[in-house]
Amino acid sequence: MICSHCHKALRISAISHQRGKGLKAQIQCPHCGAWLGRSPVMASLKLGSFYLGLLSASVAWWQESWRQGGTLLAIMCLIALLCVHLMDQLKVVEAPPAKPDDSHERQKYR
């Protein structure tokens, strides 16, 4: 994973703070302190399209009269699953507090 605020790589083992559960879970970046999360709508769309595609593929496999419609629905669900998976990225939920501008202090030492 990559932090969408500081653009550094996140290791799963380095994550120490988490809040929320389920689809609304958020993690804190160990580098910059920003809270990152995924969209619950996208995650539910991803899960829904996966299970609907799996159900329609199994119905199409076992019921010969539903084969054409079930196969078409399974293909559409697979396309939706892939599109939603590409769009479902970590986003910044709460940015870390901005550091105060100390350029006048640093100017003394130049």
Per-residue pLDDT reduced to its tens digit, 12-43: 888 888 888 888 889 888 888 888 888 889 99
The pTM assigned to this predicted structure is 0.70
Question: Quick one: tokens of 20?
Answer: 């929320």
Does residue 61 have a pLDDT over 80? yes
Which letter does DSSP use for residue 96 in this model? P
Sequence-separated (6 or more) residues with CB below 8 Å from residue 105: none
C-alpha span between 27 and 4 (Å, rounded): 12
